[in-house]
Chain A
Amino acid sequence: MKLAGWVFFALSWFLILGLNVFCFIKVFSKRVIR
């Protein structure tokens, strides 16, 4: 895999894993359904 391939691969993983970590931390730190 070329360097550019690694960059796109790593960035995609970073963004999507980051989105999940951000959301789930917030979901579990807030109250459950009202």
Chain B
Amino acid sequence: MNQPKTRRDTWGSRLGIIMAVAGSAVGLGNFLRFPVQAAGNGGGAFMIPYLVSLVLLGIPLMWIEWTLGRFGGGFEHGTAPGIFHSIWQKNRFIKYFGVIGIFGPFVIFIYYTFIESWTLAYSYYSLKGVLTGLPDQAALQSFLKGFQGLEKNAFFTDLGLTYVFFLVTFFVNVAVVSYGIRGGIEWLCKIAMPVLLLFGIVLVGRVLTLGTPDPARPDWNLVNGLGFLWNPDLTALKSAKVWLAAAGQIFFTLSVGIGVILTYASYLSKGDDVVLSGLTAVGVNEFAEVILGGCIIIPAAFVFFGPVGVQAIAKQGAFDLGFVTMPLVLGKIPLAAFFSFIWFALLFLAGVTSSVSLAQPSIAFMEDEFNISRKKAVGIFAAAAFILCQPAVFWLGRGVVNELDFWGGTFCLVLFGTVEAILFAWVFGIDKAWEEIHHGADMGVPAVYKFIIKYVTPVFLLIVLGAWFVQEGLPTIMMKGVAEADRMFVFGTRIGLVALFAVLAILVRVGLRGRQRRRERERI
């Protein structure tokens, strides 16, 4: 196949793309969601379905996305519509399915940057000693609600400061992507990821040396805290819910099914390895999740709140654990402000390396399919994203963020992952796919993966998609649990999302057609 000469940006080093993909994957979920999922789904036994899902779902999907991305990049397509069209040129509709690969990351970006800005603000308040000076859980809850604009209280009377932190975070993201792949994203991730891992190791070191801080409660010690998370409940393995939770965790933690890895890998050359690089990115993410994430929040909370307290806290959800419990825990140890800063700075770095990756597909789409400059593409993206961020900022308590997270961050991911796995193994064809994976590979993929990628991964994904749709999808679509007063906001968000999808679909049609015409003119 004739491939056009490339004018696109490229990665400067292999470590750069590994750190960028790992940075995209390592997010707040590694440190907040994983420990809660593990503790609530069999403890140590959760690692069995978790590792099985990693081998059968996570690693194959990672290789699929790296390979498809590099393949599409060879045709100067950096996003799913063009990449899917290159794979299945006879099908006129597949490019519209690829719209999800731009829509999903864009929608996540809209609310993710806002949440990311909380971690920046909390880093600042940690350094100032404000957070660790708050006496109890109720005070921290009140501080968080005031900061989010959910209530007016002694800490915050309006959203002014919250908005300043949001603006700073938004500006940082736009500034990074405006410098492109090599000068912006790669530069950021090569600095931020080692710092993030170092902060994580420092925190793990501190938690593992907590011992028994309260001699009056000898059972509330670190070893029992680790036991709370890791003691296996093997009966949990009989539960389909536990297996689904593990598969979901693997899916969401690796950033597969979003479209981001496709875009990142599109900046590789055909001779660049994807097998070893993809596996290394998985390894870094798992290090952050299991080694770091599994040793910080739950054991630390156990030591100070005991088994009953930590159970109650875990039920309040991952956000409360991170933004309420952790400052409270860290407030009880020496150098509280420093460790609290380290914790929130770690979350901010995890957030920013993810959010820049969410911005890139939209920018790459405009650059590749409309042939416009990076600066112009970044400007258009920033303007559109900034306007669409506002409902997430001002209507947080109205269910807008939950709705965006459901469609952009959950539904689209699972659906997109399932379709791309089927496309890769069945439309592209497993023999061609196998050959494509191994172009320039620095290690062979075990032969059993030919069978896994063709049969096991797609079937596994279909099961996850179906079960998830029944368990969580239907109740959310039916607005179960949404307050009557919030229904209009949720409905409005849905209408907005449909409109956004339609606009993107039209742009895909116009962009791909225009590009075809440009190519024909160039040939003449």
List residues of A whose CB falls within 8 A of some B CB: 1-2, 4-9, 11-13, 15-17, 19-20, 22-24, 26-27, 30, 32-34
Q: Which of B17, B44, B443 contacts A26 (CB 8 A)?
A: B443
Chain A residues contacting B269 (CB-CB under 8 Å) are 33-34
Whether B276 lies near A4 (C-beta < 8 A) is no
Give residues 238-292 of B contacting A (CB, 8 Å).
268-269, 271-273, 276-277, 279-280, 282-284, 286-287, 290-291
Interface digits, B1-28 against A, CB 8 Å rule (1 contact, 0 not)?
A: 0000000001111111110000000000
Query: Which of B17, B283, B284 is most buried by chain A, counting CB atoms within 10 A of its CB?
Result: B283
List residues of B whose CB falls within 8 A of some A CB: 10-18, 43-45, 47, 51, 223-224, 226-227, 230-232, 268-269, 271-273, 276-277, 279-280, 282-284, 286-287, 290-291, 294, 440, 442-443
Whether B13 lies near A20 (C-beta < 8 A) is no
Min Cβ gap A5→B in Å is 4
Q: Is the interface of A mostly helix, strand, loop or mixed?
A: helix
Min Cβ gap B416→A in Å is 26
List the A residue with the shortest CB-CB distance to B231: A5
Whether A9 lies near B226 (C-beta < 8 A) is yes
Min Cβ gap B286→A in Å is 5
Whether A16 lies near B291 (C-beta < 8 A) is yes
In the assembled complex, the Cα of A19 lies from the Cα of B54 at a distance in Å of 12
List the A residue with the shortest CB-CB distance to B11: A33
Whether B277 lies near A27 (C-beta < 8 A) is yes
Pull 12 A–B residue pairs with CB atoms less than 8 Å apart, ordered by A: A1-B227, A1-B231, A2-B227, A5-B43, A5-B44, A8-B43, A12-B44, A19-B283, A23-B279, A23-B283, A26-B276, A32-B14
Whether A17 lies near B291 (C-beta < 8 A) is yes
List the B residue with the shortest CB-CB distance to A27: B280
Min Cβ gap B447→A in Å is 19
In the assembled complex, the Cα of A24 lies from the Cα of B6 at a distance in Å of 29
Query: Which of A2, A11, A23, A32 is most buried by chain B, counting CB atoms within 10 A of its CB?
Result: A23
